[in-house]
Amino acid sequence: MDLCDIISDSIRSVINQELPELISNELKKYFDNQEKVSRNNVDNDNIGIARVKEITGYANPTIYSKVHRREIPVIGRGRPLLFSESQINLWIQAGRPKTSDMVDILNMLPAQIKPQ
């Protein structure tokens, strides 16, 4: 076996075994970091009914009623209710629309284009 064969075998070994593992590890690090960043951005905007009450001045029963009638933007309808502070502020700036059409439009907007 000459030097070219040895180098060639070494290169093949790196390409076939080590390179995929290195790429896989780097991709995993990248996507883990992206997930953490995304989770932090979402967590910072999520608010509960108490904060919505402070922002809007509505009583709890009014907020629950508006959620039921789809008159206020809501992220999660489970217990507890979950709202996006930026969506609530948008909703207020838009003049608190009374139709469910406007709320549906706001809920359909991708996170990347929603105003912060």
Q: Are residues 37 and 52 both part of a single domain?
A: no
DSSP assigned state of 13: H
Query: Does pLDDT of 66 surpass 70?
Result: yes
Q: Are residues 53 and 91 both part of a single domain?
A: yes
Q: How many CA atoms lie within 13 A of 83 on its CB side?
A: 26
pLDDT value at residue 53 = 93
- Tell me whether residue 53 is in a domain: yes
pTM above 0.75, yes or no: no
Query: Which H or E run contains 110?
Result: none
Q: Are residues 55 and 104 both part of a single domain?
A: yes
71-105 pLDDT tens trace: 899 887 777 889 999 999 988 888 755 555 555 66
17-53 pLDDT tens trace: 777 787 888 888 777 776 665 555 555 789 999 999 9
For the chain, what is the domain count? 2
The identity of residue 37, as a single letter, is V
